[in-house]
């Protein structure tokens, strides 16, 4: 969709979503393997809208059927994507992928975000999941 072309003065957030390169820039190297697995299993029509670390765990958000649009003079609002056109098969595959994402997010709590070694959540000002070595470096 090209809302920005149809609506001059509007900015669409996450139109097109995250690709693997942008996702990798958003979290530590230790989780890049998890991201590669998710992107290779991702159905084409599922859009990744945000990837980040939160409370020591990977967060991998996929299209929830809306995108945020900011328009000069009109403010910010959300508009639906073309989700209504999906077939039953596609919806089932999307659901299966959501389960994979859930497993990957759970797994991230035991993988060092810096190096990929087995790790655990470390408390402190900023909760991170790290192995013993990377934890000592901080
Ligand atoms: Zn580590």
pLDDT in tens, 65-109: 656 667 777 777 666 565 555 677 877 887 889 899 999 999 999
Distance from the alpha carbon of residue 122 to the mean position of ligand 1, in angstroms:
12
Model pTM score: 0.75
**Is the per-residue pLDDT at 19 higher than 60?**
yes
Distance from the alpha carbon of residue 117 to the mean position of ligand 1, in angstroms:
5
Q: How many domains does the chain have?
A: 1
Distance from the alpha carbon of residue 29 to the mean position of ligand 1, in angstroms:
10
Contact present, 131 and 113 (Cβ < 8 Å) = no
Contact present, 28 and 113 (Cβ < 8 Å) = yes
Query: Whole domain around residue 51: which residue ranges?
Result: 3-137
Distance from the alpha carbon of residue 105 to the mean position of ligand 1, in angstroms:
17
Around Cβ 58, how many Cβ atoms within 10 Å? 26
Beta strand pairing status for 128-130 and 120-122?
A: antiparallel
pLDDT of residue 3: 46
Token pair for 116:
């990929």
pLDDT of residue 45: 73
pLDDT of residue 65: 60
Q: Is 16 helix (H, G, I), strand (E, B) or coil?
A: coil
Distance from the alpha carbon of residue 27 to the mean position of ligand 1, in angstroms:
13
Q: Is 128 helix (H, G, I), strand (E, B) or coil?
A: strand
Distance from the alpha carbon of residue 120 to the mean position of ligand 1, in angstroms:
10
Mean pLDDT of 45-49: 81
């Amino acid at each position: 969709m090209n809302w920005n072309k149809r609506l001059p003065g509007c900015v669409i957030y996450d139109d097109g979503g995250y690709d693997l390169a942008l996702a990798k820039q958003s979290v530590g190297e230790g989780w890049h393997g998890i991201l590669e697995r998710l992107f290779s299993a991702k159905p084409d029509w599922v859009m990744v809208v945000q990837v980040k670390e939160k409370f020591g765990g990977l967060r991998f958000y996929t299209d929830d059927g809306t995108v945020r649009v900011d328009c000069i003079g009109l403010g910010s609002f959300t508009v639906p994507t073309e989700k209504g056109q999906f077939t039953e098969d596609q919806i089932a595959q999307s659901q299966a992928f959501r389960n994979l994402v859930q497993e990957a997010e759970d797994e991230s709590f035991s993988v060092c975000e810096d190096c990929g070694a087995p790790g655990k959540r470390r408390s402190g000002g900023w909760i991170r999941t790290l192995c013993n070595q990377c934890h000592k470096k901080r």
